[in-house]
Structure 1
Amino acid sequence: MKRDHFISMHYFIIIFFVLSISSLVTAQQRQSNISRGSSLTPTGTSSWMSSSGLYAFGFYQRDNGYAVGIFLAGIPDKTVVWTANRDDSPVSGNANLLFTAATGKLVLKTAQGEDTNIADVSQTASSASMLDTGNFVLYNSGGKVIWESFSSPTDTLLPTQRLSVGMQLISSVSETNQSTSLYSFGLYMQPDGNLVQYPSDYRTVPAAYYASGTDGMGDKISLNLDIDGNLYLLNATDYKVKNITEEVYATRRTIYLARIDWDGIFRLYSYNLDNNSWSVPWNSTSDRCGPRGLCGINMFCISHDLEPGCSCLPGFAPVIQEKWTPGCERNFTAESCKNKDRKYTIQEEVNTIWEDLPYSVLSQMSKEDCRQACLEDCNCEVALYKDGKCKKQRLPLKYGRRSSQSDVNIALVKVEETSHDRILPTREGKKEISKDTIIIIISCLFSLLVVNVAILGIIHHRYRASSYRRISYNGNINFCGDIAPRSFSYAELERMTDGFKEEIGRGSSGTVYKGTMMNDVDKFVAAKRLQKVLSTSEKEFQTEIKVIGRAHHRNLLRLLGYSIDGPNKVLVYEYMSNGSLADILFTPERQLNWVERMGIARDIARGILYLHDECETQIIHCDIKPQNILMDQNGCAKVSDFGLAKLMKPDETKTFTGIRGTRGYVAPEWHRKLPVTVKVDVYSFGVVLLEIICCRKNLDQSLLDDQIILEEWVYQCFEGGKLDQLVGVEEVEARQLERIIKVALWCILDEPSLRPSMKKVLLMLEGTVDIPTPPNPTSFISTI
């Protein structure tokens, strides 16, 4: 009896404690109460903040106007998590959001006098609140919630929010436009308990591209996201029936949200408040071409540089240029297939996967037999051939994507044979000028334009010829320092460096000396006296100097000038007071923390990206290594020693050249005498990134045998799930470490075409794109 009394008292205390906490939480949430009669405008008081200031409800900028929604206000970039009436057009700066005093309605009033309800409620609201959970709620006079944004989600699920049966998340048009479209994607909590992703306009089983596999669990299942970033399914008794994500060990000061993005992939995002960076701990698929309907009808998806792209079937053209979702249509006007004057042929598209809806299936056929069968069938527009089966289909084809496998369909597409003389009818039935006639007219006009430009060019050349003759062959031209490097005499450099007295560095191509500018003794320079120059003519050497001298970027070491005085060749750079990255990485007492090292990695990536994609002349650095990354007084990393890099001509994407670079950082294609591309710099960057992660050299004979070669040891740790060994005692968030390791492993793949571009590398480092699991760096060897 006493025991029962004790248990009863124990339960009473627990219930009292829970109720007390609940009351306290409610009181805290009500601190941001909004009373009737309150209002917002886009240009005045534009939002109502939660008590912590993390979330806000109100106006945010969209396109050329404003929309009403909820966004993360406590981070540098406003991240919209909910939008009211998301498919309505943006409003002007004269709009007004009212929590009306008389009726207790939340109403958006436009400048034209139109009223739109933000919250559809039958009761009168007495007050409102923007909660710290990201939920905006309306209360009645009794303090009961009568409406909440959590019950009407758009594309985002926030911690403590539930996606119950019958509810859905629908993707936005783009990252900046939160409206939906005919071609959006949906995440649905189905009545059978299955969590499924479909293209929003094709909710059928063949169109599904993700499912939780919980069908049959009943209509009380809900998707939940907790504050630690765990996604899971609960039943009616709040029993966890399935973990959607692996258990996440949340770090301090981290915000989580889950979103179905414009590309159809459901992603879990985390935002670290300490280093202001986003990452993606989980996504529903790592295949960017996985979502059905990412490419429109008669299109197939191709993964290129870890990004999706869409291509039309042969004989088809985009309905709208530069837009994927509307799909493709035939590039000729189709007439009755019984028209004997129309001639058709077959074009192939190999290794593609499509929605399988044939109207006829023929077995035990060769590809040629299948081709002929489609040509002879008036209704056959495409035949999918695989393993002796010929599946004849009508248009449109849907859910196309290129596969890396070689045993998938060959699409045999019926196209019209080229007919140059036929005049095509328009959709209105009117006649158009023949294609040949149009081509002839355009060619004549273009030829006339070229002739006129050539005449003007000759006149201009003759007019300026005398000026060019005054330029001496040795190229001693003085440019403004803000435009191009200055030409110094060797005697000037001797005075600037006090006879090349103070040596501050030495490399394979020359020795670096400290100096001062002649007209500014407080401005230091680094003069590199070259011991040898690549075998190139004097004029070509000067051209390269001037082109690279115009490459200005905060993450590139500035080339200030040069001297070409017979055999004496000197390059003059801005002076870096903090030495090289090698000095920092490989000197224990100078090593930086993880956040600082990742900042340096992003700096280097930005510098290389500028050389590859943003210079007027594309530059391959050819010698990326820590010794060539210099640090300024503010800790900003600058890529140096690109003065003798390989310049690419405008029409070049690859080139043959002798091996350049440093052992350990040189990409494999150099040794195979293959043409080199910008991907050699990506490889070198990957090695440097591993060194930045691990604070050690890529080759260290003093370590254990399995740790001597850095990239091999890293991949062993990656495969074995022992990444913590790479950073020693330093505390690094596990998922962030894994993410950066993946970036490096993709960069050092032996096959150049599989390495990402530097643009992609930077996006991955910044946490804005997904990173698939990389293969073993040496598992793909080029057979070119």
Structure 2
Amino acid sequence: MAAVAAVLLLLSSLTITLSTTIYSGTISPNFTASHFLFIENSGDFLRSVNRNYTAAIKNPQPSSSSFYLVVYHSASHTVVWTANRNTPISSSGQFRLSATGISIHDDSEDSVWSTPEFSSTVASLQLLDSGNIILLDRFNTTLWQSFDFPTDTIVSGQRFLVGKSLIAYSSPSDYSDGEYTFMLTSTTGMLQWQGLTYYELSMDSRSIQNSAQFVSYLMVNGSGFNLIGESGSEIVTKVLMPPVVSDSDYRILKISNDGYLVVLRYTNNNWVTDFASPVDRCRSPSRCGKLGLCSSGGCSCPPGYHIDPKTNFGCSLSDNSLSLPESCNGDETRPPEDYVYVPIGKGLMYFSIYFTNPARNNVGLSTCEALCSSNCSCLGFYYGNRSESCYLIGNHLGSIILSSNKEEDDKLGFIKAISLSSSSNNQNGTTASDFPVIGLVLLPVSGVLLISIVAIWMCIRTQKNRKKNKMKPIPKKFVDDSYSDDTEKFLIAGLPVRFKHEDLVHATMNFSTPIGSGGFGKVYKGVLRDKTVVAVKKITALGSQGMKEFFTEIAIIGNIHHVNLVKLKGFCTHVRDRFLVYEYMSRGSLDRTLFGTGPALEWKDRFEIAVGTARGLAYLHSGCEQKIIHCDVKPENILLNDDLQVKISDFGLAKLLSPEQSGLFTTMRGTRGYLAPEWLTNEAISDKTDVYSYGMVLLELIQGRKNCGHAPILSFENPTPSTECPSSGSSGLLNPPRARSIYFPLQALEMHEEGRYLDLVDPRLSGRVTKHEAEKLVKVALCCLHENPSLRPTMANVVTMLEGTLPVVEPRLDLLGFLRFYGRRFTEPSMVATVTGVETPSGVMAPATESSSMSVFLDSVSYTLSQQVSGPR
């Protein structure tokens, strides 16, 4: 027995020793491998001759218990092909090569994956340096190859034939089939989610069609990414990509698990992305989860929805009395009247509408609703008002995207929901109307009599209360004349969440936590019941505008989403008060950080703040469907979080001002000094007005000190020029404070002319800023201050100049001469005795001798503000 045991031990050790050998190029039938047998090589058992690729039994991550037969790129360890992707095995599961082909077995010896039957006997398996696994017979005829069965990746030089598909992995740790597919047709490549097309390669601006031939195959290699015609030589479609730098560079094409088609290049031991499509990341149908609203600013929820508390991803209905139904297999068991339809909001689209035909044309909204109600696989629908077309959303719900086409705005979206009360009634099989009959049968006579008496008493009491309420007048303070019909709000599409007044009272501890104030009212810190920290702005003195107009403006503001704009989370109306609920920014406004007593902001942070502010304004001017001019760009309206991320606040609120308020706009705290010269004339206020204000803010970022908003003034009490700024709350109309010795923008102009850019930089940053860095920002700021609005750059151009995409434009001195006039006219001794401190809206103090003409200017400003303060819509 001892001898037998010794022989078995020897054989076992011999087997293990043999199994740890990594074969090169070829293996023959009667070969077995498992991760356990090749554990010393991490499951690797076969390499191509030049070691470009390796075949192995591997798990996606060390902690995973799922193992697959894979081929991976040896240098980067990137998996390019998987055999048993939907039927993983354990570490002891086996790969077997026999005369009939390849088979993979689990621990119970059952085959979970295999190649098909062949008419010839398999003589060998080869792993080629192209990454292709082939099975050969004794005549070296190819019986089978892995290139014919791609998974999620195409390697360099591989032909991807028309009709084939790439299916994304479920996740980096799970190689099973995911939700996204890339399919090649005879005309283009299509990206699909859950079987629904959401993008086509021909839609990409980098996809250039060269021929009208039908496509035969796709290939990616060092020369590019091309769709080849039936002739085999003509390029039908060429996708533009950066050129290959080195001959050793290696490319692959794959469909990512989040729905993007990418071409990756391996160079210098790293992967770089040469191509990714769609460019618009919101085109990925499930980027923000079920019913999540995707925009350039990230993920949020449409009005009437909130983040799904179960998954913390995607959105669910805010109304807890409603639930979203699941799709079915075609069996309808629920009556149509149990469904309600919740609007998605105006300007919000669903990806499938772009690629599917209407379910019905020339029908009414009610017919479209009935079509969805009668189909249990339908989860929502879109209805085109002008086209009278009905589009059904079936089987799955993805993300919502902001429409970029005004013609799509007439399409109204609705999501199917189930009323939980009706669902409960149906489950119980008993409704309220059934009770009297059942009660009369089951209750004794005395019980019936008692119920009858109670019912008669309740009817009499109800009638008395109705009469009493009709006779008793409602106190005037509780009547909102502008809002008589609560259903009016549902006529305005796209409204954000409407909060109850008591919820805001609770969140702000009865408005006892003020964190700021501005021209539109006070701001309070609040904590909602779900622990979300918010900023609650109470808007005062709105005048007599109607509730519908208020809702319209809130809907516009609420549907603006950008990473550099403060997000409006909701609103509240209570009697005459209006409240806006914003996301909370922990660092407060820029003026606190920039002008406060704490550590100085580093130059890098100032530059990022400048770029972020420019991006936000550029989006308001040209990225929204309805252009919005801020009209009050200043540090107080630029907010920061702990990471110094910039978010602009108070955009669009000027539209909410009453005419009386708009006339006082120029004297609001912090506004003086940021208003463009055109406020003094009858010129139309445009987006270039914001550009001027941004230029002033940019100078403040450079110098680290406050723009006092006026030219130098010498007072009778103290004829010595002062370097102090007035208090931020001063209106500047009477008893003007002492001013600085140098007019703020004029100093920048003079330093620019002398090339002394570093003299403008905050002295606290001495030695930490280069002349080139300072010069760039000073020149951009001065370009923004050009007197002629049409010759100022757009905010989009400001962004490109700051980012380096476009060269910085040289400021035009002939358009900045007005700064010398403003800055020098009041420093002359002859002017000192006449100054009384009348301030113009541009921030210039006018002498008393000019008060009459200046009053004309002020009148024109008030008129202009009352008419145009919110900018065009």
Q: State the TM-score, normalizing by the size of structure 1.
A: 0.47
Bigger radius of gyration, 1 or 2?
Answer: 2
Q: State the TM-score, normalizing by the size of structure 2.
A: 0.42
